Structure 1
Amino acid sequence: MNKGRLEAFSDGVIAIIITIMVLELKTPHGGTPADLKPLIPVALSYILSFVYVGIYWNNHHHMLHAVRQVRGSVLWANLHLLFWLSVIPFVTSWMGENHFSKWPVALYGVILLMNGAAYSILALLLVKQAGPQSTLAIAIGKDWKGKLSVIIYLVSVAVAFIEPAISLVLYTLVALMWIIPDRRIERVLLEKEDN
Structure 2
Amino acid sequence: MESERFEALIDAILAIIITIIVLEIPTPINGSWEAFGELHLEFIVYLVSFIVCFNYWNYHNNLFNIVNHIDYKVIWSSGLSIFILSLLPYLTSFVANNFNSFFAQSIYGLDFILVNLIYIYTSESLKKADKGNIALQLTLDKNYEFIATIAIIIIGYIIGYLFYPPAIVSSCLIAIIIIWSIPYITK
TM-score for the superposition, normalised by structure 2: 0.89
Contact kept in structure 1, 2:51 and 2:173, CA below 8 Å: no
AA aligned to 2:45 is: S
What secondary structure, in the 3-state scheme, does the structure 2 residue paired with 1:164 have? Answer: coil
The 5-angstrom pairing of residues 79-118 of structure 1 reads 79-118=79-118
Deviation at 1:4, TM superposition (A): 1.2
CA distance in 2, matches of 1:86, 1:168: 17
Deviation at 1:133, TM superposition (A): 6.3
**Which position in structure 2 is the counterpart of 1:48?**
48
What secondary structure, in the 3-state scheme, does the structure 1 residue paired with 2:31 have? Answer: coil
Contact kept in structure 1, 2:99 and 2:105, CA below 8 Å: no
Contact kept in structure 2, 1:14 and 1:57, CA below 8 Å: yes
Structure 1 179/47 Cα, relative in aligned 2: closer, same or farther at 3 Å? Answer: farther
Aligned-residue Cα RMSD (Å) equals 1.8
CA deviation map 1:167-187 (0-9, x unaligned): 33322210202346x96xxxx
**Which position in structure 2 is the counterpart of 1:164?**
165
**Which position in structure 1 is the counterpart of 2:129?**
129
Number of corresponding residues: 182
Q: Does 2:144 correspond to 1:144?
A: yes
Gapped regions of structure 1 (runs ≥ 5): 184-195
TM-score for the superposition, normalised by structure 1: 0.86
The 5-angstrom pairing of residues 1-20 of structure 1 reads 1-20=1-20
The 5-angstrom pairing of residues 29-40 of structure 1 reads 29-40=29-40
AA aligned to 2:173 is: T
CA distance in 2, matches of 1:156, 1:131: 37
Deviation at 1:132, TM superposition (A): 7.7
**Which position in structure 2 is the counterpart of 1:72?**
72
CA distance in 2, matches of 1:95, 1:114: 17
- What's the % identity of the aligned pairs? 25
CA distance in 2, matches of 1:165, 1:105: 6
Contact kept in structure 1, 2:68 and 2:133, CA below 8 Å: no
